[in-house]
């Protein structure tokens, strides 16, 4: 047996090693951040450096908070700026999701709940269906995107599950709302600058980082859904939630992102029907002017006869993608084929169209099975947790009917939120089971005391 002095020395050595490891990690992170700023400069270099700094801080406190990395990666899921790693085209959102996934796999609780396992299996069906196009069309972007698509769905679900199961679901969603709030402020600032000059066109925010209007609109729509549904387990004030909801809706309207508005409207209507019309009737009344705004914008584009506006551009792209699909209808031309194709150098502006052109009828069948199956699984969850999960995934699928689908942040955020709801439901189920076991044990103890109490008294 070791002496007390040796034990104390061993404990101090462990503390010194832990401190040295954290300082070394921070130093490495600082060096990497400085490198990115000097090497790339500008906004992208600064954003990448900040992302590295957040990752380093999260890693340094993982010892005390197991889900520190996934938790602190939540705001970074909104950052679509490129990090420039070896010319891979990865975004900060992709890197943040990958880091969070690694921590969730290593430190997250298992076994996974039955609903989560079903969702992972459904995504695996899609991955198997698209594996054929990876084999038939051997090029780097095809293979990379196959893994990337899996990470955006299954990886995001696992990250969300790990957070929810660790009891960090509320904190994670607060960070999501906070990040969306910063993005909304950027939209308001840009809108004020434009409106002051008499320019009332769509707003493309440039702060805190440049964003395309549809990307900004879709991500803000997700935040609007979260605060509108505000699950009871989040313990949010209804007044503040509705205030944030209208703030996010106004920001979405300023971006003039039609697919974001349509996805938000459809999700709200479906959820309101499921709830029997409960919660703010004023929101349902707002659906009418929202739908009118969308129809008006489309009619204006058609009547303008401007062949370069988004409506006519999408019509032309749809024709070209259909002609391309006919050249390889079964297995498609490969994922991200527009990076290597000689003339079809644009991403198809519709989900099923993109999947059909990329992976053919095989991939399209897998995609349809995955989407319908995921909605069914989420719909069957306890509404206390499943309502938000179903609504946010439904919103994304509806958005994808009118624009690009496989876009990093716009896919990963809804599935992370769905995973958080699954993890929170598992915690609640475990709590109920523990309470029932305690109640059963107490009842058994009472029965035992009632039947054997007289004997024990006589014995004593």
Instruction: Flag whether pLDDT at 20 surpasses 80.
Output: no
Q: What mean pLDDT do residues 135-139 have? A: 94
pLDDT at 429: 87
Q: Which two tokens stand for residue 10?
A: 């061993």
Q: What mean pLDDT do residues 239-263 have? A: 93
Instruction: Flag whether pLDDT at 264 surpasses 50.
Output: yes
Q: What mean pLDDT do residues 46-59 have? A: 63
Question: Which tens digit of pLDDT belongs to each residue from 340-394?
Answer: 988 888 889 899 999 999 999 999 999 999 999 999 999 999 999 999 999 999 9
Instruction: Flag whether pLDDT at 290 surpasses 60.
Output: yes
Q: Binning pLDDT at 50, 70 and 90, where does residue 63 land?
A: low
Sign of CA dihedral 5, 6, 11, 15: positive
The pTM assigned to this predicted structure is: 0.83
For residue 97, which of 20, 149, 37 has the smallest C-alpha distance? 149
- Distance from C-alpha of 285 to C-alpha of 39, rounded to nearest angstrom: 52
Q: How far is CA 265 from the centre of its chain?
A: 19
- Distance from C-alpha of 303 to C-alpha of 30, rounded to nearest angstrom: 55
Instruction: Flag whether pLDDT at 298 surpasses 90.
Output: no
Question: Which tens digit of pLDDT belongs to each residue from 161-181?
Answer: 999 999 999 999 999 999 999
- Distance from C-alpha of 396 to C-alpha of 219, rounded to nearest angstrom: 10
pLDDT at 68: 84
Express as a percent the part of the chain with pLDDT over 90: 52
Question: Which tens digit of pLDDT belongs to each residue from 431-456?
Answer: 877 776 676 666 666 666 665 554 44
- Distance from C-alpha of 402 to C-alpha of 354, rounded to nearest angstrom: 11
- Distance from C-alpha of 271 to C-alpha of 252, rounded to nearest angstrom: 20
C-alpha torsion angle, residues 181, 91, 405, 345 (rounded to 10): 140
């Amino acid at each position: 047996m070791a002496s007390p002095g040796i034990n104390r020395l061993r404990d101090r050595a462990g503390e010194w090693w832990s401190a040295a490891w954290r300082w070394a990690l921070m130093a490495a992170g600082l060096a990497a951040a400085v490198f990115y700023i000097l090497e790339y400069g500008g906004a992208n270099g600064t954003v990448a450096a900040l992302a590295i700094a957040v990752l380093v801080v999260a890693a340094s406190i993982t010892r005390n908070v197991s889900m520190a990395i996934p938790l602190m990666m939540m705001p970074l899921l909104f950052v679509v700026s490129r990090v420039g790693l070896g010319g891979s085209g990865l975004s900060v959102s992709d890197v943040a999701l990958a880091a969070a996934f690694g921590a969730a796999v290593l430190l997250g609780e298992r076994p996974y709940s039955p609903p989560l396992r079903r969702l992972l299996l459904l995504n695996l069906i899609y991955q198997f269906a698209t594996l054929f196009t990876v084999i038939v069309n051997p090029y780097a972007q095809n293979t990379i995107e196959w893994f990337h698509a899996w990470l955006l769905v299954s990886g995001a679900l696992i990250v969300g599950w790990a957070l929810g199961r660790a009891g960090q679901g509320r904190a994670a969603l607060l960070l999501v709302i906070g990040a969306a709030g910063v993005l909304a402020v950027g939209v308001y600032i840009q809108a004020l600058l434009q409106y002051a000059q008499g320019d009332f066109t769509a707003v493309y925010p440039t702060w805190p980082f440049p964003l395309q209007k549809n990307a900004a609109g879709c991500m803000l729509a997700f935040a609007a859904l979260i605060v509108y549904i505000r699950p009871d387990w989040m313990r949010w004030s209804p007044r503040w939630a509705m205030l944030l909801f209208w703030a996010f809706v106004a920001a979405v309207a300023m971006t003039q992102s039609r697919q974001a508005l349509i996805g938000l409207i459809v999700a709200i209507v479906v959820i309101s029907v499921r709830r029997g019309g409960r919660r703010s009737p004023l929101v349902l009344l707002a659906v009418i002017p929202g739908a009118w705004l969308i129809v008006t914008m489309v009619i204006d584009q058609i009547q303008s006869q401007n062949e370069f506006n988004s409506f006519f551009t999408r019509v032309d792209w749809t024709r070209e993608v259909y002609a391309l699909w006919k050249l390889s209808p079964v297995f498609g031309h490969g994922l991200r084929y527009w990076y290597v194709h000689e003339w079809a150098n644009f991403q198809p502006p519709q989900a099923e169209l993109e999947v059909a052109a990329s992976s053919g009828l095989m991939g399209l069948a897998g995609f349809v099975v995955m989407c319908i199956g995921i909605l069914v699984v989420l719909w069957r969850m306890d509404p206390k947790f499943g309502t938000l999960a179903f609504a946010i995934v439904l919103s994304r699928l509806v958005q994808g009917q009118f624009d690009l689908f496989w876009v990093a942040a716009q896919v990963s955020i809804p599935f992370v939120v769905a995973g958080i709801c699954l993890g929170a439901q598992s915690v609640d189920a475990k709590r109920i089971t523990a309470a029932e076991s305690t109640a059963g044990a107490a009842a058994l103890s009472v029965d035992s005391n009632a039947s054997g109490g007289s004997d024990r008294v006589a014995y004593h």
